[in-house]
Structure 1
Amino acid sequence: MTQFNFNLDMDQLTEEILGSDLNSVTKGLAVAVFNAYMEAERDAYVQAKNRERSEDRQDMRNGYYQRDYKLPVGRITLKVPRTRSGEFSTELFERYQRMDQSLVLTLMESVISGVSTRKVTKIVETLCGESVSKSFVSSVMDRLDPEIEAFQNRALHAQDYEFLYVDAMYIKVRENHRIVSKAVYIAQAVTTEHYREIVGFMISGEESFESWQTFFQDLRYRGMNDPKIVISDAHEGLKKAVKFEFKDASWQRCTFHFLQNIVKTLPKKGSEEARRLLKRIFRAESMMMAEQYRDEFFEYVDGDPKYEDAVKKLDAGFHDATQFLTEAKKYHVSLSTSNSLERVNKEVRRREKVINIFPNLASAVRLIGSVLIDIDEEFQSPRRKLFQAND
């Protein structure tokens, strides 16, 4: 397997992994790693691939039995391989008890973080003197990738989605011997019952209309309906793609970022009252009140050239930033900004910092997909509604 040299502090990585909150590690990924380990053990014992005719074959596969196993992340159910003779026995459980429990979880974290097999082996040997073959690590990666792909490509037609939050963040990836910037597109939707889901993610080049359109087309291809409102920042390519792909949806500009853009144009001194009047607009309980507060702001700064840019920005973006007021009051806080998706991005960024520069695009998809699966599972169990007010 090709090895990559990239910016990774081994001591820092080990410290980050061993000091991480193990409850945040996806149980499904732990199951995949353990099952992959036992499958590799059986392959070695049988000495033949599945359905392969070989003179070296020692036994025949005979399905699996289930076994519950308790980890720091909780109880998991494993598929333990069997052979027809019944003589095969996995060493996983004995090995797991013999090693420090963090070993296998460290291996898993390293694999999904895109660390090269050479560095995975080095981490394991450094921690407890045990070694893991490069072929095994590659096998685990091959088994994890389909889970990420299934998550990315799953059908969305079983739910009706009312609101859609979208955003992009940037990561660094090594590509063709250069370090390039890639945009990570993430979509969080809210069902008509007000439950959240991570409905899609994509890693591509810099933000553009074409990239956003491709991302939205994928959501639609997988069965997503037109939401009532799409909430995002004001990237021009994103806005245009929303109009093209979600023709029946309104676009809500994130008021947090909109206010920041306007406030930057205000005088640093003597603008306290203007700032108060400006913020009051987006705390209004109805469109009528917001329009009244906007007009009062215009009247207060009228004729002062120091506020011309603020007036222009507010006037141009007012209606896009107040679409949330068309919904019930109990939804206003959640719909007025993209903060709920920003929290998702923050968790992705926290895990991404361990790597800093991804060795390739596949490793970035693996880590970010794993984090998003974990977050989506947290949304589902126990199911928590985005809007906390009584329906």
Structure 2
Amino acid sequence: MTAWRLCENELKKLPDNNKFTHMYCDRFGSTLVVDAKFFRIKGLPYGYGLLWGVDYFKHDIPVAIIASSERYQAWAKYFSYHRIISNHPELLVCDDNVNIKMAARDKFPEVHIQTCTNHFKEVIRRNLKVRSDDTYKSFMKCINDAFKEKRTDADMFKRMRILWKVYEGDPVCESVLVNIQRYYHELTGYRGFKGAPTTTNIIEGFNSHLQSRLQSLRSFESVQHAQLWINGYILKRRFTKYTDCKGKFKHLNGKRGVDMTKKQRVVLPSYFS
């Protein structure tokens, strides 16, 4: 029997991650950070994506699905699972993907959206071509400084007014400043949620960890194989104790993500020795 066949047999013994959550977990946090991570399927010209999210304050992964794209329908399906497990996030942190935002608002009309400030700045950075052209480097530095930390409206508006006066008449800079004003509500969606993030850094870290595992695989033989492997990977992560959490998450060291969301007085099954 091949190594993959042995692995496949063990993976098939594991429960579906989403069904496991529905059965054993109900203590979810207020903030969900989501993203998609794409991977290769052998013989397909395009990749498939893992649509998943991290419960920010609990560091658990309650729901994940495999989809062929990040279309609205795929994200709507993802958020539907959150409704099934009775997880209604109050704050959603994501990149500036309209499909994510539309699907989330459809399933959770009251949800607040926090657009990742890192992604938002990166779009500006690319449009200004500051990595290859010095023309707008000083302007970009001011934008970076403005979003370096959480600021009051008064502080932010003061900074934007100064920038407008300095760069008035430059259509490129004016366009950036107008766009910031247009997105301002989503760039400050964290307001009212103590300790909430302004970036998707936590899920990006999870993506990086997953990528380090995927590199050795190169590609999956089929979508079914990908679903099996990724389901096992996610469950293993949920059942692995955290050891290097820092700052406000230091208290999570020695705990598993699933310990933080499991139902009260429920004994979790053991899947990994």
Same fold flag (TM > 0.5): yes
Structure 1, residues 259-278: CA drift from partner, whole Å, max 9, x if none? 01112233632434322321
Cα RMSD after superposing both structures: 2.7
Which residue does 2:248 correspond to in 1? 387
Structure 1, residues 293-349: CA drift from partner, whole Å, max 9, x if none? 223222322111342432343232222112124434xx25xx110001101011111
One-letter identity of the residue aligned with 2:32: L
Aligned residues: 245
Q: Which of 175, 195, 203 is residue 66 of structure 2 equivalent to?
A: 203
Does 1:169 pair with 2:34? no
SS at match of 1:186: strand
Does 1:376 pair with 2:238? yes
SS at match of 1:199: coil
Q: Percent identity?
A: 16
In the TM superposition, what are the counterparts of 1:173-252 in structure 2 within 5 Å?
Answer: 173-174=41-42, 178-190=44-56, 194-224=57-87, 226-252=88-114
What is the distance in 1 between the residues matched to 2:81 and 2:249?
30
SS at match of 1:185: strand
What is the distance in 1 between the residues matched to 2:94 and 2:247?
17
One-letter identity of the residue aligned with 1:286: T
Contact kept? 1:263, 1:310, Cα under 8 Å: no
SS at match of 1:141: helix
One-letter identity of the residue aligned with 1:207: E
Which residue does 2:207 correspond to in 1? 345
One-letter identity of the residue aligned with 1:240: M
CA deviation after TM superposition for structure 1 residue 245, in Å:
0.9
Contact kept? 1:227, 1:248, Cα under 8 Å: no
Does 1:310 pair with 2:176? yes
- Determine which structure has more spread, i.e. the larger CA radius of gyration: 1
One-letter identity of the residue aligned with 2:106: F
Distance 1:289 1:141, change over 3 A: same
Contact kept? 1:280, 1:293, Cα under 8 Å: no
1 or 2, which has the higher strand percentage?
Answer: 1
CA deviation after TM superposition for structure 1 residue 383, in Å:
10
Which residue does 1:97 correspond to in 2? none
Which residue does 1:296 correspond to in 2? 162
Moved >4 Å (runs of 4+)? 380-386
Q: Which of 364, 368, 371 is residue 226 of structure 2 equivalent to?
A: 364
Structure 1, residues 168-199: CA drift from partner, whole Å, max 9, x if none? 0111113xx54442111011113xxx322111
SS at match of 1:158: coil
CA deviation after TM superposition for structure 1 residue 152, in Å:
2.7
Distance 1:289 1:308, change over 3 A: closer
What is the distance in 1 between the residues matched to 2:75 and 2:220?
23
One-letter identity of the residue aligned with 1:367: W
What is the distance in 2 between the residues matched to 1:345 and 1:159?
24
Contact kept? 1:287, 1:325, Cα under 8 Å: no
In the TM superposition, what are the counterparts of 1:1-391 in structure 2 within 5 Å?
Answer: 118=2, 120=3, 137=6, 141-149=8-16, 151-154=17-20, 155=22, 158-174=26-42, 178-190=44-56, 194-224=57-87, 226-266=88-128, 268-282=133-147, 283-328=149-194, 331=195, 335-378=197-240, 380=241, 387-388=248-249
Q: TM-score, normalised by structure 1?
A: 0.57
What is the distance in 1 between the residues matched to 2:103 and 2:192?
22
Distance 1:306 1:383, change over 3 A: closer
SS at match of 2:229: helix
Bigger drift between 263-272 and 298-307 goes to 263-272
Distance 1:178 1:262, change over 3 A: closer
What is the distance in 1 between the residues matched to 2:44 and 2:28?
42
Contact kept? 1:183, 1:205, Cα under 8 Å: yes
Unaligned runs of 5+ in 1: 1-116, 122-133
Contact kept? 1:187, 1:198, Cα under 8 Å: yes
Distance 1:291 1:371, change over 3 A: farther
What is the distance in 2 between the residues matched to 1:299 and 1:239?
33
SS at match of 1:173: coil
One-letter identity of the residue aligned with 2:27: Q
CA deviation after TM superposition for structure 1 residue 387, in Å:
3.2
Unaligned runs of 5+ in 2: 252-273
What is the distance in 1 between the residues matched to 2:226 and 2:64?
12
SS at match of 1:183: strand
What is the distance in 2 between the residues matched to 1:300 and 1:324?
29
What is the distance in 2 between the residues matched to 1:381 and 1:306?
45
Distance 1:263 1:384, change over 3 A: closer
One-letter identity of the residue aligned with 2:167: V
Distance 1:389 1:145, change over 3 A: closer
